[in-house]
């Protein structure tokens, strides 16, 4: 005969399980209703250097190529351009004179790869893809990342250009670390793309904050901070002072907000508001978010005016100023 105590305990467990299932079902019902975008590729990327990056990525997508190939190819454009001093070759060095690079990439299946504190390699985004595809890991760092890159056939190259060296020499006269909003800390090219199959991928690459402490790593190579993609929902990426993004896991937050019914624009705005609410002194820095959902809707938002993003859609590549928390 079952005791009354055991019967009640069993009833409580059963009831708890029922309530949990009801909560899970209710949460599932919150997912924003979206019709997956198919047959109409779309790309969104950060800053003005997103325009040429988008053009290269679009060439792949219009031929029916994979979104992963597109974002990698697009991110390689500013990495190889010495005139873009916040990404790859020609990037500003750290306070000790070393150019150190961070990058990550994420595909439509949830796979991810990342490198941090990588030196002497022009294309960290491609090394990150190799980490994703050829190792059981997500992230490699420093000397280990460099060793891996060399083993995969990447060539060493001095990344410190004369122009960047001159800027560093000038900075050393005062050696004061004061990131300038929309100048020194617009340090990232972040890209999100949906291909003709409706699949989403993203990439992020940077040389980090100018004159940072040696060894500093920002949000750009961190999955969920600088970049996050969920092929059921959408993707998000960030730019700006990475410490603020890391403390709020910003890109993951944007995607989860979209999962629970927000539009990409609403989700980007909420992520910035979260920073304003949680982080004292946030007014001294710039953060910008971009986002796209599976229906091809996009959004962007930042703390201060001055952040712009490039959108390639229907064969048109346009640069737009994002809305901001503070007005001009």
Q: Mind telling me the catalytic residues?
A: 188
DSSP for 2-21, please give it: --HHHHHHHHHHHHHHHHHH
**Which of 258, 277, 289, 272 has its CA nearest to residue 325?**
272
Helix axes 250-259, 264-278, angle to 10 degrees: 130
| Bridge partners for 112 per DSSP | 106
User: In this structure, are residues 122 and 104 in contact, taking their beta carbons and an 8 Å threshold?
Assistant: no
Residues facing 102 on adjacent strands? 206
The total number of residues written for the chain in this structure: 328
323 Cβ contact list (under 8 Å, min separation 6): 265, 269, 300, 301, 302
Phi, psi of 40 (to 5 degrees): -135, 85
Q: What is the CA radius of gyration of the chain?
A: 21
Strands (E), 197-281: 200-206, 227-230, 234-240
CA dihedral 67, 69, 70, 73 (to 10 degrees): 160
For residue 166, how many other CB atoms are within 10 A of its CB? 10
Bridge partner residues of 321 (DSSP): 308
Q: Which long-range contacts (CB under 8 A, 24 or more apart) does 58-62 make?
A: 58/312, 58/317, 61/193, 61/195, 61/196, 62/315
- Are β-strands 200-206 and 323-324 bridged in parallel, bridged antiparallel, or unpaired? unpaired
Written as six digits, the tokens of 66 are 């994979």
């Amino acid at each position: 005969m079952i005791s009354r105590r055991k019967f009640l305990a069993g009833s409580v467990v059963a009831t708890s399980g029922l309530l949990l299932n009801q909560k899970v079902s209710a949460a599932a019902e919150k997912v924003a209703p979206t019709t997956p975008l198919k047959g109409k590729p779309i790309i969104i990327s950060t800053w003005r250097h997103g325009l040429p990056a988008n053009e290269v990525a679009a060439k792949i997508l219009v031929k029916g190529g994979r979104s992963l190939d597109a974002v990698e190819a697009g991110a390689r454009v500013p990495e190889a351009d010495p005139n873009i001093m916040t990404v790859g070759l020609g990037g500003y060095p750290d306070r000790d004179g070393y150019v150190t690079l961070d990058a990550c990439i994420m595909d439509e299946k949830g796979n991810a790869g990342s490198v941090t504190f990588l030196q002497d390699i022009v294309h960290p985004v491609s090394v990150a893809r190799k980490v994703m595809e050829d190792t059981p890991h997500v992230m490699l760092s420093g000397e280990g990342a460099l060793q891996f890159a060399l083993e995969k056939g990447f060539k060493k190259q001095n990344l410190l250009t004369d122009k960047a060296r001159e800027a560093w020499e000038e900075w050393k006269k005062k050696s004061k670390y004061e990131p300038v909003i929309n100048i020194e800390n617009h340090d990232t090219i972040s890209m999100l793309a949906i291909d003709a199959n409706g699949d989403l991928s993203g990439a992020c690459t940077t040389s980090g904050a100018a004159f940072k402490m040696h060894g500093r790593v920002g949000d750009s190579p961190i999955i969920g901070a600088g970049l996050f993609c969920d092929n059921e929902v959408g993707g998000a990426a960030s730019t700006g002072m990475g410490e603020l993004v890391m403390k709020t896991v910003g890109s993951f937050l944007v995607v989860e907000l979209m999962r629970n019914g927000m539009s990409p624009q609403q989700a980007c705005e909420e992520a910035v508001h979260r920073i304003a609410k949680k982080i004292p002194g946030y007014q001294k820095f710039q953060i910008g978010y971009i986002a796209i959902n599976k229906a091809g809707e996009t959004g962007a938002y930042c703390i201060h005016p001055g952040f712009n993003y490039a959108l390639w859609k229907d064969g048109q590549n346009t640069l737009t100023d994002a809305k901001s928390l503070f007005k001009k």
